[in-house]
Structure 1
């Protein structure tokens, strides 16, 4: 089968298309024929050797975590899905991966039924970003109706889904992005828009209940300034130190929390996200689709940032065994 393999953790340029044997599912696994795979920052970060603790397997290795496809065959111990069923999901970490190939193996707790309303390309854009947004808003942040939520990078993969979830909840949604994204974000549910290229958000906002920080760095520090006493900041890129968390609490009465989709994703959240998608609450936006042979270009584009919605790899045209 066709696959994209990481030869060494020296960068995206070490990825190469290779023919490899089709994997065999274990007793507790499904063999999934991959129709589309989502692109995530995690992909290029690992390729560049920036997250070595998540790569617990020998090279060469097939990256990719977000999958939409069809069950090809089933192990003897799994009964939830049958051959021919359309599914989507996310491989667990550390290790795993395998989405950038014609076939991959996945377990019961990594997949759910693909929403009928979505194409495979759209469904591949959902698992990691959707789980991150949902878990950060509700499990970590406890978002409620009527609260003011400020979403950084609101047009990005996680951000554009968080905006839709929050709008459905009845929150007042404020989003930051470049000016070219204002119209689409207002269509998705943003009530107030901040163009980060023209103004600093801390100069125009104050007293928000909840900040979702998908950027990190000094954005976290600056976000503390706009949270009202007792407010919450959920940050995604990296965990703040315990010392910083205590300082934010003592000096600003702000509760700073970290959510790590890499280690804390779960089948219940995946199913909840899929149900919201099927109900029309959330619609993933796919900005560009790449063939398997152009995965390097897709990862380069992701690494540059400023992607609207999600990038996806289409494998439905691959025919090799």
Structure 2
């Protein structure tokens, strides 16, 4: 089978296609014929060597975390899935595993049946950013129409899910995005939209109960300027040093720096599947062929697009 791997840390240029044996499954795994996988910022952070404490430096490495495909084989202890099922899911350890192959062996507890009314590309877009959005929602605590929330970088994959989930909660949401993202932000539930090219959100007089920085460009230090006295700053893209430091600093300030670390599970996926059933929109910005995977990663890393970027296999 064909697989995308890399033998050293670096840009998308280090990615290469190789021939590998089809994986052998364990008793609790299923073999998936991959139809699509999505691209997430964590993919290139790992590939560039920014996460070596967790990903280690053993090569070759695969890339990609969430996928959609068709069940081809089932392990002896697996129940609830059948050969031929259309499914989506995520690898158990995103730091050391990858889905960028024609076939993958995956723990069955992290595989779910694909809704019939969405595509493989849409299904592959759900697990990582969808779980992150639900986790962020949990971190926010009790929110309602009186809760003022700023979402910075609001129309990527994470923001797409988060805005729609916040809309269900009735929160008052201000979305910071590009001019081309404004229409989507409003469609997904933002009450107001700020075009970052025309206005500096830090220069506004408005303050917020919750600020979540999906772009990774604002940072807690800057966000404090627009946070209310007992506000939360949610950080889903922390630098490794920020994880322990946030806990220490939170002991001495009422403006809390909250790290959002998400781990896909059936609990979160059930919430997301319920939202999809109720009409949650999954916008796939661009689909690349397996042969064009380098272009796909280069495109995704440039940013500025709406929704998700997906690679189709076979």
- TM-score bracket, shorter-length normalisation: over 0.9
Alpha-carbon distance between aligned partners in 2 of 1:39 and 1:94, rounded to the nearest angstrom: 12
Alpha-carbon distance between aligned partners in 1 of 2:224 and 2:92, rounded to the nearest angstrom: 32
Q: Secondary structure at the match of 1:118?
A: coil
Q: Secondary structure at the match of 1:101?
A: coil
Alpha-carbon distance between aligned partners in 2 of 1:10 and 1:206, rounded to the nearest angstrom: 41
Q: In structure 2, what is the equivalent of residue 42 of structure 1? A: 42
Q: Does structure 2 conserve the Cα–Cα contact (< 8 Å) formed by 1:112 and 1:271?
A: no
Q: Does structure 2 conserve the Cα–Cα contact (< 8 Å) formed by 1:277 and 1:283?
A: yes
Residues 266-298 of structure 1 deviation map (CA, whole Å, 9 limit, x = unaligned): 332123212211221x22111000011111111
Q: Does structure 2 conserve the Cα–Cα contact (< 8 Å) formed by 1:57 and 1:95?
A: no
Residues 111-132 of structure 1 deviation map (CA, whole Å, 9 limit, x = unaligned): 2221222100111111101100
Q: In structure 2, what is the equivalent of residue 269 of structure 1? A: 268
Alpha-carbon distance between aligned partners in 1 of 2:185 and 2:265, rounded to the nearest angstrom: 28
Q: Alignment RMSD, CA only?
A: 2.0
Q: In structure 2, what is the equivalent of residue 144 of structure 1? A: 143
Q: In structure 1, what is the equivalent of residue 256 of structure 2? A: 255
Residues 203-237 of structure 1 deviation map (CA, whole Å, 9 limit, x = unaligned): 22523221111233543222222222222221111
Q: 1:103 to 1:242 in 2, by over 3 A?
A: closer
Q: Secondary structure at the match of 1:98?
A: coil
Alpha-carbon distance between aligned partners in 2 of 1:151 and 1:33, rounded to the nearest angstrom: 36
Q: Deviation at 1:51?
A: 1.4
- Residue pairs, 1:16-95, within 5 angstroms: 16-56=16-56, 58-95=58-95
1:293 aligns with 2:294: no
Q: In structure 1, what is the equivalent of residue 277 of structure 2? A: 278
More RCO (CA 8 Å, sep 6+): 1
Q: In structure 1, what is the equivalent of residue 310 of structure 2? A: 312
Q: Deviation at 1:166?
A: 0.4
| Count of aligned positions | 311
Q: 1:57 to 1:116 in 2, by over 3 A?
A: farther
Q: Does structure 1 conserve the Cα–Cα contact (< 8 Å) formed by 2:173 and 2:190?
A: yes
TM-score for the superposition, normalised by structure 1:
0.90
Q: In structure 1, what is the equivalent of residue 215 of structure 2? A: 215
Structure 2 unaligned blocks of 5 or more: none
Q: Does structure 2 conserve the Cα–Cα contact (< 8 Å) formed by 1:215 and 1:236?
A: no
Q: In structure 2, what is the equivalent of residue 108 of structure 1? A: 108
Alpha-carbon distance between aligned partners in 1 of 2:205 and 2:251, rounded to the nearest angstrom: 20
TM-score for the superposition, normalised by structure 2:
0.92
Alpha-carbon distance between aligned partners in 1 of 2:244 and 2:74, rounded to the nearest angstrom: 45
Q: 1:197 to 1:169 in 2, by over 3 A?
A: same
Q: Secondary structure at the match of 1:36?
A: strand
Q: Deviation at 1:89?
A: 1.3
Q: 1:174 to 1:49 in 2, by over 3 A?
A: same
Alpha-carbon distance between aligned partners in 1 of 2:18 and 2:70, rounded to the nearest angstrom: 22
